[in-house]
Structure 1
Amino acid sequence: MRRTTTAIAAVGLLFALAACQDTITTEPSKSSAAEAPAKSSAPAAEPEPPKAKVAKVGDTISLKGNEDGEKVDAVLKKWVTDAKPADDFSEPQPGTKWVAAQFELTNTGSTPYADSPSNGAQVADGDGQRFQATFAEITAGPAMTSSAKVPPGEKALGWIVFEVPKASKISTVQFALNSGFAEQTGQWAVS
């Protein structure tokens, strides 16, 4: 009986794990600029299939966390390709530079959003190299809090800094809840 119960539990866990799928969302839920349809005097041609929208700076992506009621509207507000240190004591390592993303995270869920946002952020260059956040203060503005506790309806705003090789051209910024362990990740194009 004990082996049967263990086997049933193991099969149930296997199905639960198979049902979990990570997704990367690149389509904005809210865009920074309204897109007006183009007017044409040319004869009507076959309609083109709609192009997939790609989130860019200023766009909002709605993200869900791992717990019931965790939901955040994440906006990549600004992007800086050559971030400057805010003091005379910090600087990027030789051969590297700092890039930075300013995020606005609005808790649209029903429970508090508690996280270390920089843990869930990364950037990628055109070669596919990915870089995690680093702790740095920059002249562009205040850093994102390392311990966000945001009630429903409130926001967290701040800069997340990344140290990358000087030759890297960053093409995308990603953000996910739960220190990057949420199944849903938002992605913005920055090149």
Structure 2
Amino acid sequence: MRRSRAPGRSRSAFAAVALLAPALLVPALLAAPGGSGETVSLTGDGPGQRLDVTLTQVVDPAAPARSSTPEPDGSDRLVAVRFHLENTGTADYEDSPAASAHLLDATGQRFTGLNLPTTAGPHFPDTLTLRPGGAAEGLVTFRLPKDAGPAAVQFALNGGFADDVGQWSLP
């Protein structure tokens, strides 16, 4: 499976390595470039879909914001990741940032983002619409096993299914 890439743009080799050799998953993941504060320009599957995505903060652990939200049961915890999104394309961005985001632990297990409010700050709505030039910032929450070590965060347009995937390694 080929991944689309802009000329001269460096992307993580994680996905390609994971498809070709799952046993190499952890070394590729730990060697992935990027870090908090780095902006990655991503394209979607439709014409004019382009988004600059910046990972700005990781809150680990994060506490649920409402009493109606189930508390972690002791075997798991919540991790909140703050993104800044800017529509740099010519088409409207209408998508779910939570479905577009994934967190990977040190063993390569992948966790999909949730629309679960925490006390870490404001979260994205279920569906976010940004006109060209528009920007938004918010949190995406992940539920991980208590002993899982977050290693990387991924983001892709089109509900996480676009071929162009941004990845940030976590310290």
Q: Shorter-chain TM-score category?
A: 0.7 to 0.9
Identical amino acids, percent of aligned pairs: 37
Structure 1 residues 103-154: Cα deviation after superposition (integer angstroms, max 9, x where no partner) = 1110000111111111111111111111111231111111112111100001
Gaps of 5+ in 2: 14-30
What's 1:63 paired with?
42
Q: Match of 2:98, as an amino acid?
A: S
What's 1:109 paired with?
89
Tell which deviates more after alignment, 61-70 or 81-90.
81-90
Q: Match of 2:150, as an amino acid?
A: I
Structure showing greater radius of gyration is 1
What's 1:138 paired with?
118
Aligned alpha-carbon RMSD (Å): 2.1
Q: 2:129 aligns with which of 144, 149, 159?
A: 149
Distance 1:169 1:83 in 2: 14
Distance 1:54 1:183 in 2: 18
Distance 1:129 1:22 in 2: 24
What's 1:123 paired with?
103
SS state at 2:98 partner:
helix
1:87 aligns with 2:66: yes
CA contact (8 A) 1:25 1:61 kept: no
Structure 1 residues 43-86: Cα deviation after superposition (integer angstroms, max 9, x where no partner) = xxxxxxxxx98211111000000011100000001111100111
Distance 1:149 1:106 in 2: 11
CA contact (8 A) 1:121 1:175 kept: yes
Distance 1:162 1:93 in 2: 14
1:164 aligns with 2:144: yes
What's 1:78 paired with?
57
What's 1:175 paired with?
155
Distance 1:177 1:84 in 2: 27
1:190, distance to aligned residue in structure 2 (A)? 1.1
TM-score by length of 2: 0.80
Gaps of 5+ in 1: 1-17, 28-51
TM-score by length of 1: 0.72
SS state at 1:118 partner:
helix
1:186 aligns with 2:170: no
